[in-house]
Amino acid sequence: MSSDNQDTETHSEQVDETQESQDTNSNPVRSEEAKLKAKYPSLGQKPGGSDFLMKRLQKGQKYFDSGDYNMAKAKMKNKQLPAAAGPDKNIVTGDHIPTPQDLPQRKSSLVTSKLAG
Amino acid sequence: MDGDGDGQSRWCLSQVKGAVDDDVAEADIISAVEFNHSGELLATGDRGGRIVIFQQEQESKNLPQCHAEYNVYSTFQSHEPEFDYLKSLEIEEKINKIRWLPQKNAAHFLLSTNDKTIKLWKISERDKRPEGYNLKEEDGRYRHPSSLTTLRVPVFQPMDLMVEASPRRVYANAHTYHINSISVNSDNETYLSADDLRINLWHLDFTDRSFNIVDIKPANMEELTEVITASEFHPLQCNTFVYGSSKGSVRLCDMRASALCDQHSKLFEEPEDPSTRSFFSEIISSISDVKFSHSGRYMMTRDYLTLKIWDLHMESRPVEIYQVHGYLRSKLCSLYENDCIFDKFECCWRGDDSEVMTGSYNNFFRMFDRDAQRDATLEATWENGSPGCPLKTWRVSAGSRRKRNEIGVDCLDFSRKILYTSWHPQDNIVALATVNNLYIFQEKLN
């Protein structure tokens, strides 16, 4: 008895849903577009235009030079592999010129993928 | 597809690979999934430049209702991060594509590529090693020649199986822009690599030269209107290839026509309905993947919201259109803001071309049965349900309601997306990647 009621309830809900979606269906994209234009009025007329594509062609983080790049990489490596640094020393590379005693004994080994674990 | 009509599909979760904790490092994000031509091997690539290859175990006689499992076969570092000194830009080690070569001998070969460099890897097994050297001990130490009294002939003795991966070719410095596709030709001698503006043809044996076969770079970069997004060789005709663009068109080129294929032989483009044109039209029409059917008669394209099947004999419009997640039309504004509208989803064919599949958000993936004209939405999750238990199908409704196996559009998690999928070439086994996990699903055999 109660399950019958539930079924009819769901059915009428579904009917309401379809009617609702039909109304907005005629222009869900248009209303989304209006929303976007309201938020960013300066957005260019041609979204597929050259500015947009140029940005896409030049993806990737820009560094000042190779030194900047290597310093950033050293900082990131030290963060990811804290065990690689010396036992009691703080992370040394990336911030100041290290002394031979400060450096880890060998190049920190690359971490194996977790898929293979 | 919908199986018994009670919301159960014929698919079951077979295996999940990778960590299940929430802490996902950038390097662990999977960026490529590909079965080899026999389906025995399954390769994955990640953002850390690593490749992991799984091998299907020998079919187990004890469990006839399911195919054998995949276990780790080999893992290696394919690409390392580099620095482009001229542009002061980092070259990511992320693996963009993996493509297997058909097997010719005991070893397996695959091509892997990042944004700039393609590599040919040889994966071979070693199960014997020579023993009984005269001048060396078994541990490698050298014996003094004066201590020798007899001579013996070294012999091969069995050893534990070792799988080695070695880079056989490195195809570098041929792409100014970012490589998005590689495709091995049916002639098994050449392959193509495509970046945003150019496509190059290589011979597998030569790394010091490649031929440019498509160049859509305008003389004045201000006039740039479209870029190449995906490219593939025809599976049977070695002179034919296609490339998709950011404007939603696919061009088929015939290399017999001319050396530089800037003029297409066929242009597959659906005429635009001016009444539906909006700011988003071009972005959502961008082709994210193009795949020929195994038969070579059809071609499938994936754009942001749909899957389209084209008959190569008809350029004017696709023969089949499948809505992947049309409910996202009401979310385009926020999808543009969080960049999800630029996600590049892959798609794949079943071995007999009767079904196709592609990924979506919320770790959902979509299966389309072309013959029965039915579709299903399934979820890749390791919760609720054990391996072998058939997956339940999902429905997405408007708003934020949530019922059993129904979820509202507002509740979808757009950070959990399935971009990379691969279908076993013969059996009904599919492999797909969520952000950092590899899922393998099998269709129930009985």
Query: Which is more confidently placed, A98 or A34?
Result: A34
**ipTM, interface predicted TM-score of the complex:** 0.73
Identify the residue among B88, B285, B439 best suited for mutation to test binding to A, counting A beta carbons within 10 A and taking the highest: B88
Residue A83 has what pLDDT? 46
Q: CB-based contacts of B389: which residues, under 8 Å, 6+ apart?
A: B12, B13
Residue B340 vs residue A83, higher pLDDT: B340
Q: How far off is chain B from A103, nearest CA to CA, in Å?
A: 22
At residue B257, does pLDDT exceed 60? Answer: yes
Kindly state the tokens that stand for B429.
């086994």
Cα distance from B224 to chain A (closest Cα, Å)? 5
Residue A7 has pLDDT above 60, yes or no: no
Q: What would the 3-class secondary structure string for chain B be?
A: CCCCCCCEEEEEEEEEECCCCCCCCHHHCEEEEEECCCCCEEEEEECCCEEEEEEECCCCCCCCCCCCCEEEEEEEECCCCEEECCCCEEECCCCCEEEECCCCCCCEEEEEECCCCEEEEEEEEEEEEEECCCCECCCCCECCHHHCCCCCCCEEEEEEEEEEEEEEEEECCCCCCCCCEEEECCCCCEEEEECCCEEEEEECCCCCCCEEEEECCCCCHHHCCCCEEEEEECCCCCCEEEEEECCCCEEEEECCCCCCCCCCCEEECCCCCHHHCCCCHHHHHCCCEEEECCCCCEEEEECCCEEEEEECCCCCCCCEEEECCHHHHHHHHHHHHCCHHHCCCCEEECCCCCEEEEECECCEEEEEECCCCEEEEEECCCCCCCCCCEEECCEEECCCCEECCEEEHHHCCCCCECCEEEECCCCCEEEEECCCCEEEEEECCC
d(CA B15, CA B232): 30
Q: What is the CA radius of gyration of chain B?
A: 24
Ramachandran sector of residue B18 (left: φ over 0; alpha: ψ -120 to 50; beta: rest): left
Q: How far A6 CA sits from the closest chain B CA (Å)?
A: 13
Min Cα–Cα distance to chain A from B96, Å: 14
State the smallest CA–CA distance between residue A35 and chain B in angstroms: 7
A53: pLDDT confidence band, cut at 50, 70 and 90? confident
A89-98, A107-116, B131-140, B165-174 — most confident range = B165-174
- Which residues in B215-235 are b (16+ Cβ under 10 Å) and which e? ebeeeeeeebebbbbbbbbbb
A18-50 residue pLDDT tens? 444 444 445 888 899 888 888 888 776 655 566
| Interface probe with B: pick from A32, A37, A71, most Cβ of B within 10 Å | A32
Query: Per-residue pLDDT averaged across B305-332, rounded?
Result: 97
- Is A53 close to B282, i.e. CB distance below 8 A? no
Residues of B in contact with A24 (CB under 8 A): 330
**Higher-confidence position of B273 and B75:** B75
Condensed to tens digits (0 to 9), the pLDDT of residues B337-356 reads 999 999 999 999 999 999 99
Q: What is the pLDDT of residue A79?
A: 67
- Between B274 and B376, whose confidence is greater? B376
| Farthest-apart Cα atoms in chain B, separation | 94
Contact state of A50 with B46 under an 8 Å Cβ cutoff:
no
Is residue B194 within 8 Å of B253, Cβ to Cβ? no
C-beta atoms of B333 and A111 within 8 A: no
* Beta sheet of B438-443, edge-to-edge order: B390-392, B8-17, B438-443, B429-433, B420-423
Two structure tokens written together for B156: 């091969």
Span B422-439, average pLDDT: 96
| Mean pLDDT, range B29-46, rounded to an integer | 97
pLDDT band at B291 (very low <50, low <70, confident <90, very high): very high
pLDDT of the residue at B6: 58
Look at A50 and B17 and tell me if their CB atoms are within 8 Å: no
Please tell me the least confidently modeled range out of A79-83, B330-334, B436-440: A79-83
pLDDT of residue B54: 98
Residues above pLDDT 90, as percent of chain B: 79
Q: Which residues of A touch B337 (CB under 8 A)?
A: 36, 39
**Cα–Cα distance, A66 to B374 (Å, whole number):** 54
> From the list A49, A54, A62, which residue is nearest B89 (CB)?
A62
**pLDDT exceeds cutoff 50 at B229:** yes
pLDDT at B104 over 70: yes
* Range in B67-71, B97-101, B309-313, B369-373 with the lowest mean pLDDT: B67-71
Q: Comparing C-alpha atoms, which of B264, B256, B255, B266 is closest to residue B213?
A: B255
Cβ-Cβ contacts under 8 Å, A44 against chain B? none
pLDDT at B185: 98
Q: d(Cα B82, Cα B70) in Å, to the nearest integer? A: 33
**Interface A-B: count of C-beta contacts within 8 A:** 123
Of residues B44, B89, B397, nearest to A115 (C-beta) = B44
Q: Kindly report the nearest CA distance between residue B128 and chain A, in angstroms.
A: 24
- SS3 of chain A: the string is CHHHHHHHHHHHHHHHHHHHHHHHHCCHHHHHHHHHHHHCCCCCCCCCCHHHHHHHHCCCCECCCHHHHHHHHHHHHHHHCHHHCCCCCCCCCCCCCCCCCCCCCCCCCCCCCHHHC
Instruction: Determine the angle formed by the axes of helices A2-25 and A28-39, rounding to 10 degrees.
Output: 60
pLDDT at B127 over 70: yes
User: Residue A16 — very low, low, confident or very high, per pLDDT cuts 50/70/90?
Assistant: very low
Chain B residue closest in CA terms to A17: B398
Beta-strand pair B70-77/B50-56: antiparallel
pLDDT higher than 50, residue A9: no
Q: What is the mean pLDDT of residues A42-68?
A: 74
pLDDT band (50, 70, 90) for residue A1: very low
Q: What confidence tens digit (pLDDT) does each residue in B153-209 have?
A: 999 999 999 999 999 999 999 999 999 999 999 999 999 999 999 999 999 999 999
B333–A39: do the CB atoms touch at under 8 Å?
A: yes
Q: Which of B50, B196, B197 sits opposite A113 (nearest CB)?
A: B50
Least confident of A41-45, B55-59, B303-307, B374-378: A41-45
Region of poorest pLDDT, from A17-26, B257-266, B318-327, B367-376: A17-26
Query: Which amino acid is it at B41?
Result: L
- Region of B373 (left: φ > 0; alpha: ψ -120 to 50; beta: rest) is left
State the pLDDT at residue B8: 82
Contact at CB, A29 and B92, closer than 8 angstroms = no
